[in-house]
Amino acid sequence: MLTILSTTVWERRRSTLWWVLGMMALAGLTVAFFPSIRNDAEAYESLFDSMPEGLLSVFGIEDASTLVTAVGLVNSRIYSGIGPVVLAALGIGLGSSAIAGEEERGTLDLLLAQPVTRTQIVLGKFAAAAIIIGVVVLSLFGILAILNPIVDLDFTLTGMVGANVTLGLLALTFCAFATALGAGTGRRGVTTGISAAVTATFFFINGLAPLVEEILWMRRLTPFYWLQHPNPLANGIDPAAIAVFLGAIALCLFVAVWTFNRRDVGV
């Protein structure tokens, strides 16, 4: 199992580096834009207030006035806008390649020929994905921690930890879902497509539900709601959100192990 973990991480070392650089660039560009907003806050606030409520809601922004604050700006770009979509894509990519990718490449038979169980293969692949996601999220935390005093963002340590932990758990949730789907179907393309569709559906339900009272209750069914409940960058970790993410991950891994152990694989 440790060999599976280390081999998977090593094979993805180059792509992981690009993910790290991409997230650091996103954070750096977002923070670099903040001083100009802070220096002309009234003008920017008027601009943001003129934007359609629906457009702001899609990106998890409930109050346009918060965009002139460091917490509001970074949240809108990194922790409720682009960042979650990017990390979800990373999780889906890792999850879809864990079992289904190996099966389509014809390398799964080499793994099954080793003295490991199918359960160990699933858990080893997921552990490797967790390490990769952890490295990417840790790099994001690191760049924000460096820029925090330089740009006077006034982020708290508990806030930065809370925001990045929940962002990492969001990516792991979609990774676990894709792993389970790939373990059941053995088809990487199908797994990626369905996972992407589910992610997009959750994203837009979370964003548009506040505009339609009849479906407002559906927000709680989406991982994106728990990502920003209750604004971890400002308030720190929410135990309820952590419990929801961990429960979803555990359920998906259980399904992945159960289906993979009972399915005839194509080798």
Amino acid letter for position 90: L
| Domain layout of the chain by residue ranges | 2-35+70-262
3-state SS class at 234:
helix
Most confident of 155-159, 169-173, 222-226: 169-173
Global confidence as pTM: 0.89
User: CA–CA separation, 19 vs 14, rounded Å?
Assistant: 9
Alpha helices by DSSP H, 12-81: 13-39, 41-49, 53-58, 70-74
Q: How far is CA 148 from CA 31, 39, 198, in A?
A: 9, 17, 35
User: CA–CA separation, 121 vs 183, rounded Å?
Assistant: 11
Give the relative orientation of helices 118-151 and 157-185 as an angle to the nearest 10 degrees: 150
Whole-number pLDDT of residue 210 = 75
- State pLDDT tens for residues 31-90: 988 888 787 767 666 766 666 666 666 666 666 666 778 888 888 888 888 899 999 999
- State pLDDT tens for residues 211-262: 777 777 888 899 999 998 778 988 888 899 999 999 999 999 999 999 999 8
Structural contact between residues 88 and 57, judged by C-beta atoms closer than 8 angstroms: no
Give the relative orientation of helices 13-39 and 118-151 as an angle to the nearest 10 degrees: 30
Comparing 18-32, 38-52, 179-193, the range with the smallest average pLDDT is 38-52
